[in-house]
Chain A
């Protein structure tokens, strides 16, 4: 389960070179918006060469390709899809795009005799995409969905605000769809890179709506995101206590510290412990 996903422009050699040192869960090498039209080809070439030598210590590698409505997307896929990457991030995704992308990926995987099956993370940045987000979430290769708030609010012809009232509905609907299909809900980046307090507040809002991860555009944002989307020490200790009591009681429902504990609470506690273990936040030697 992802927490932080860092965008890195594929046209920037210095940033590519430093990619291995940051504590993100996934890196998104961008071939789309962060790369100017005149640099598209050189960025793709640079990224391809970088991926052939990069050692990203088993972190997830995502590639944001150009959208399928232009020829660049196919050039991106032909050049970049290989066993060295994990996921394709698809901009302005509709269900039909994902069905098409699945077909293309299958062909490339066969042609290149790949051992990996590439995942897809669609970006919801059109009102029409939001209205079919449940179908998008149901697609097989899709294991997470990213909200692209800048483009979505542009499509909606509304302003982006610090408070984020305008993206309450898209956030809630995307989170709901992702939870229903047990895939990652990845929140839109917080664009004021100098305001870490603002980032923390924004991340908390997303977390409370059901998001488990957030994209970011600067390495300094990673720590805050990892912290917010990880269970707190208090949550872990409580979860450990509940699971320990459950193992002792062997009952579907029981009382702990004067409160009723039943199946949903036990399941949630198990999830918290699993997440804590994955992120090495284990307390009390477990």
Chain B
């Protein structure tokens, strides 16, 4: 192996290459394969070939996309079929399942890391684009389609082209009240929803180092919304402290040995990146989206943009279309946008820290609109209840539900009614994502909590005065 300086991206890549073809495609070994209800297309492909899974022991199933978060006893037959299908398929192939009634159930990108299954230096794939989340541990994690899921099932490998490398450095420090969600949305607004296309991203710099694992998970989660293949953060003591004593993580001497290897997972001095972007923590304000793409994001003190001032005709048309769908007029203050409901949940922002930051704003206050809080996993739910956070949400008038993808994608029936406007901690403000005709504004959990209290988009910093976050 050459002694040339390498990025962490290349180090993990090189450690997983089984063979490289003349055309430059490499066959990569996959360390973890995660499945959910939507994986039925891939199971069908495996069945059609009359074959078995190569490594069921490296494969884990999680019921999340379709599971009811309310009234689980009255589950609809169509949804029940999706959940049962996953159970039958995983059982038939000897795969561990975190199913509907399992205490480990939760959203795949929340519960799997908490189980210690996500480790630095692993390759991790799942038929879900937000698999990039697991990069928070310094893992090489990306979303794949059903044909690739079937390929991994049958071979535990994937053909991939080495990605281009991008480094995003965030210098300085965040100002109080801003979070990983604001970093991510600021970054996406800056480079565009396809700005990182074809790239693997390493996030680095003092602001990233200061983030908790929860914050890093949120940041890496949103990598896909910048078009990036994946995003990761080099592991450090924050990572190791999180992993210690997690159920599936190595223990004792094996853990110590692993840490020695993991410490080498950093980009070497002088390693070349194809692109470098620098953000300054102090310039990052609480951000909200106003349109139908995550790149339609602005600081909360801004106004709705005017299509007449767009950079070109295509952008002008896109903005016009977005404003029509969202029912907004150019020039209006973002803080004047009234909302109909709120949602706190999804693999982006449903971890314990997220719930705490929303609760810090809501404590002792009432929401003026209805809303749903769906913790990221059954374990997060239990912990939040131990801390009394559920009381704060309920006392504020919000519904405290079970864990699942819920209103992030609405597959389980948790939908925003057509024409209604939702302040949401999720990751996609696409047309119809939360339900046909639904209007979504993305923001951090504390910002959603503030919007719930005032009934319109709000700078939560005003509501935090004198409170501890």
A and B found bound together: no
Interface residues of B (CB under 8 A from A): none
